[in-house]
Chain A
């Protein structure tokens, strides 16, 4: 009836299954791990658009796609001569011309600046060179000053088409910067552009946290001597002090609905996890153990809170229900685990663990399974923070000397410094996507 003949090929096995319907099945595994080769043809300037504008668009786009870690960008300047000159959007019928470019995907576009020089229009089209077909085409229009955000949108769309998940090009990272000599809060685009210092009070400002809508940032400041919680917008304007209970007011994390804040409070060397309302009122204590509790992080579904406790004798990651019940210990490996960060899908928690006297980034399933070490042999690595797509982690690292913010894939690949700025950096917090 059925006969299976299995042939073993070198180390990989190739299975021919001679079945009754006479269809043979070949098992193919272990794909070659290479980035998608994407051809970026020269962008076309429509009308009187200055050439520099298209070059700028091109540069941001190429950088976005490279930083994503999924693509090998084939720059038009490295194409055969006849293709170098081709600009703008090609006809699907003539896609064959692009075969010598050596890519699987072609991204082409046009820039159009209106005569007043205020409004910018960007049009792009994505083509599949293997299947010789058009994939997607979109047009964006916005004031010229939004150029970066517009290009990031294109990159997001390309990511969605080619990797199945929208990119995170329109996100920012808040962090503590020592550039001025004081601990101040700065924010930067995900690609390191538009660095902006949002506090300038010469005090100590730490633990930045984004509100769920990404419009405001909270942080702890010693401005009035006591470590209180402040709230400010992305421009650093109108800071308000909203939680100033005696002692520590630190490490805030918003519930996904934005109505409550879980934070760390404490007096005289003993810290606990508290809940307060979004306006800072109505404090409720969630932990009552004899240990110190710190770094609470609300889960993406709002049902749980991860935190650090030393109740077992060493700092470890714990989980509890949002009402403080059902406490369970998550980490057992190592004697020092801190800085938990909940992945956006809610299935994993990244944290910093000490191994052999060095700090490294780990991730673990929320059921305690699948512990993975993500960094190694690269200085001290601390304070992981997930990107909103769950594909990347921002963290601080001393791999190049002083502590700097780095971004890597959640599997540890493609680490890169966030900015080239000088001065120490720590405590990154990744924003939600800005629509």
Chain B
């Protein structure tokens, strides 16, 4: 076997030389490859978000205009400037350092969704012809704008005026409020027993806007049951429940929109 080794040794040296060159080439190539760049870019982007939003970061630019584009549309219908400022201000006041770009984009998407929702609602309101009863139209969109963060798993954005520090505190306060509303309306919902059978399987959804003084500022049927009487009875239950428990001050909300689903069982 030994005679065979010699030529191999020379080949081994040559091969290791080639291997070295190839490795160098590979390393160089890899450093130019876009894939690892993204991996590295991530911490870069991460760093960007760490910077205070007040600084005009280049990364921010593409995102802010998106908001600006979206805002003017709802403004046309129900709301004026204050809302626009509100949104921008809120974005600025999101000093969550752990937030990634993705999350930021996500919340922006929520904002867009919310804005889209506002537009839908504005249209609905017109249909409902209840605009006349609403003097301060701006209030409703503000509620919807401040609320989407609440839907985020992390409950990132607290309302500006809220005195509650943690999201869970706010959540439990809300739950408490909703359960009081639930109890009050349920207590007022009555149906003659002899009608219950005729109403089996029906569902009516009424949306109400409650206020800080427990009044119902707005009320409309979102889903009719197909049985006028059943719808009437649902509306009547809500009317009878007025005044409702006032919105807790700690929540910092002037109005809250709540859907009430009436199911006979």
Which residues on A are within 8 Å of B, measured CB to CB?
1-3, 5, 7, 9, 14, 16, 18-36, 69-71, 104, 128, 130-131, 162-164, 391, 409-411, 413-414
What separation, in Å, do the CA atoms of A18 and B258 have in the docked complex? Answer: 10
At the interface with chain A, which of B6-14, B32-40, B193-201?
B193-201
Residues of A within 8 Å of B193, CB to CB, are: 33-35, 411, 413
Contact (Cβ within 8 A) B192 A34:
yes
Q: Is the interface of B mostly helix, strand, loop or mixed?
A: helix
Given the interface contacts A34-B192, A130-B236, A131-B236, does A19 sit within 8 Å of B229 by beta carbon?
no
Q: Which B residues from 162 to 217 make CB contacts under 8 A with A?
A: 171, 174-175, 178-179, 181-182, 185-187, 189-198, 205, 207
Contact (Cβ within 8 A) B148 A70:
no
What separation, in Å, do the CA atoms of A97 and B240 have in the docked complex? Answer: 16
Given the interface contacts A25-B259, A26-B182, A26-B258, does A31 sit within 8 Å of B229 by beta carbon?
no
Q: Closest CB-CB distance, A197 to chain B, in whole Å?
A: 32
- The bracket for how many chain B residues form the interface is 35 or more
Residues of A within 8 Å of B153, CB to CB, are: 3
Smallest Cβ-Cβ distance to B233: which chain A residue: A31
What separation, in Å, do the CA atoms of A413 and B195 have in the docked complex? Answer: 11
B19 adjacent to chain A (CB < 8 Å): no
At the interface with chain A, which of B54-62, B66-74, B109-117?
B109-117
26 A–B contact pairs at CB < 8 A? A7-B175, A14-B182, A16-B178, A20-B113, A22-B143, A22-B144, A24-B178, A24-B258, A24-B259, A26-B259, A28-B237, A28-B261, A31-B196, A31-B262, A32-B187, A32-B189, A35-B192, A35-B193, A36-B192, A71-B192, A130-B240, A131-B235, A131-B239, A163-B229, A164-B228, A409-B194
Contact (Cβ within 8 A) A27 B261:
yes
- What is the 8 Å Cβ interface bit string for chain B, positions 221-264, against chain A (1 contact, 0 not)? 00000011100010111011000000000000000111111111
Contact (Cβ within 8 A) B261 A25:
yes
Which residues on B are within 8 Å of A, measured CB to CB?
110, 113-114, 117, 143-144, 147-148, 150-151, 153, 171, 174-175, 178-179, 181-182, 185-187, 189-198, 205, 207, 227-229, 233, 235-237, 239-240, 256-265
Residues of A within 8 Å of B175, CB to CB, are: 5, 7, 16
What separation, in Å, do the CA atoms of A34 and B189 have in the docked complex? Answer: 10
Contact (Cβ within 8 A) A22 B114:
yes
Q: Closest CB-CB distance, B169 to chain A, in whole Å?
A: 15
Q: Closest CB-CB distance, B223 to chain A, in whole Å?
A: 11
Residues of B within 8 Å of A28, CB to CB, are: 182, 185-186, 189, 237, 260-263
Q: Closest CB-CB distance, B126 to chain A, in whole Å?
A: 18
Contact (Cβ within 8 A) A22 B194:
no
Extra pairs beyond A24-B178, A31-B189 (5, CB < 8 Å): A14-B182, A22-B148, A26-B260, A33-B192, A164-B198
What separation, in Å, do the CA atoms of A72 and B258 have in the docked complex? Answer: 32
Residues of B within 8 Å of A20, CB to CB, are: 110, 113-114, 117, 148, 151
